[in-house]
Structures are given as C-alpha cells and as structure tokens.
Amino acid sequence: MGMNEWTWPTFLRGFGGSYYTKDMMGNLDTPQAISALDYYNRILKNYGPEGVANFGWIEVSQGLMQGTAAMIIDGTVIAPRAEDPSQSKVAGKLGYAVVPGNVQRQPGFYSWMLVVPAHSKRQKAAVKFITWMITPDTAKKIGLSAPNQALDSVYNIPVYAGYSQAEPLLKVVKESLALADPDYRPRVPEEAEVGTAVSIAISEVLSGEKTAAEALKDANTEVTRIMKAAGYPK
C-alpha cells in the first residue's frame, strides 16, 4: 500500500462511499466510490506536480517545505518540520484546515491496527492484553476511540494556552479528532490485502490504464474474493 491508498479513503468517505457492505463484502464499485476516485484523479492530474502519482510521504513533505506544492493532505507530523525555518522555505506562511467533504468530512487520523504475530510464543497473553486495551474504558484513556479523548486531553493542557504559533494547528487537530472514525479503514485482519487491491486500482487510474469504474470493478471483485475466503459474513 502506498501514499495514494493512505489518502484516498478521505475522498471515498467524503463522497459517501465505503470499503465494505454491511455483510463485509466489497462496496467499491458504487457511484460514490467511482466519483471519489474520478475526483481524486482529476485533482492530481490537473493540479499536481509532474510525477505526483508516484509520490510518497518524503516527496509530498519536501514539495510543501520547498514551496513547490501549495496544498497537501497530511497528518500533524509534518507541522514541526514545515514550520522550522532551518528546514522549510514556507515556515510561518502556512494555514491549516479540516479536510473538506462532499457528503461528510473524514480526516484520516485512524490508520493503526493491533496484531499478534503468527509465530509469537505468547499469543494467549497478547490476545488477553489486546482485549483489555480495546475495552470501552481503557480505549478512551489511551485514545482508541472516537472522538480521541486521549489526544484531545493532551492538546487541551494549559501549556498550550496562548501559544500563538501552535493555536491554528491545534484548533484544526481538535476539530479533526472530533470527526475521526476508528474505522477510517475497517479494523479487520484482511485490511492489508484489501488495501493492496485498492492501491492497485488507484494506480491504474492515475496511469491512465483504466477508468475509475473499470479499476474499482476489478478491485471490488478482488476485495469480495478476499473477504469470502476469510469466512465473511461472520
């Protein structure tokens, strides 16, 4: 999975689409999903720099800091570097905003997963720990819920009050956390395989090999195959 598959779900959700149906089969060949990928493709082709389809995080962040990109979608990790005059030509000149959406606004704050390695010698203990971690009370304390109470409490600590340089970003971060969904990418073991299928579809559209409708039809067939092989619906 690449940068495109990290970013595109914001557009998919923004247009009212989703990865899966209620019974966890593929839901990527819908009008909403196709419109989202068409829109994403048009933005990159009409307004992105040359070779943008192959950009990773380094190219995106460097484009912003060198002043060759006017706007990017990224997480908060970019801000300290982009606002550092020793690293960035645009330090002190940036603005921040919550991602837009046609139907809903869906920031990509949630991209984590919890796994137990297949070869772990303590699988039962690991499962027990994860079960405890995702219980409602614990999840709220450590930030595995929406809105993300743990991070929200951090950003509201007194030390930030009056910190004028950080306030614009912190305001947007808190607004985004209130909108964040733990199932930005549905939390299932098959997510990596599904993400690869979606990433391939996006690449095919950006390269001009297929239309959005064609690429997502093929991706949806593959996602449904993956989910059926995994035993869904369960």
pLDDT of the residue at 148: 56
pLDDT above 70 covers a percentage of the chain that reads 85
Please tell me the distance from the alpha carbon of residue 34 to that of residue 12, in angstroms, as a whole number: 9
Greatest Cα-to-Cα distance within the chain, rounded to the nearest angstrom? 54
- Predicted confidence (pLDDT) per residue in 161-189, tens digit: 656 667 788 888 888 888 888 778 777 88
Task: Please report where in the chains the tokens 């962040």 appear, as a residue.
Answer: 61
Burial class (CB in 10 A: 0-12, 13-18, 19+), 12: buried
Most confident range (mean pLDDT) of 3-17, 125-139, 150-164 is 3-17
Please tell me the distance from the alpha carbon of residue 172 to that of residue 193, in angstroms, as a whole number: 32
pLDDT of the residue at 136: 75
Domains for the chain: give ranges and CATH numbers. 3-106+189-229 (3.40.190.10)
pLDDT of the residue at 34: 98
Between 77 and 154, residue with greater pLDDT: 77
pLDDT of the residue at 87: 92
pTM for the full predicted model: 0.79
- Predicted confidence (pLDDT) per residue in 27-76, tens digit: 999 999 999 999 999 999 999 888 887 888 889 899 999 999 999 988 77
pLDDT at residue 103 greater than cutoff 80: yes
Residues 6+ apart with CB under 8 A from 86: none
- Return the sign of the alpha-carbon dihedral for residues 141, 142, 146, 152: positive
- Return the sign of the alpha-carbon dihedral for residues 158, 163, 164, 168: negative
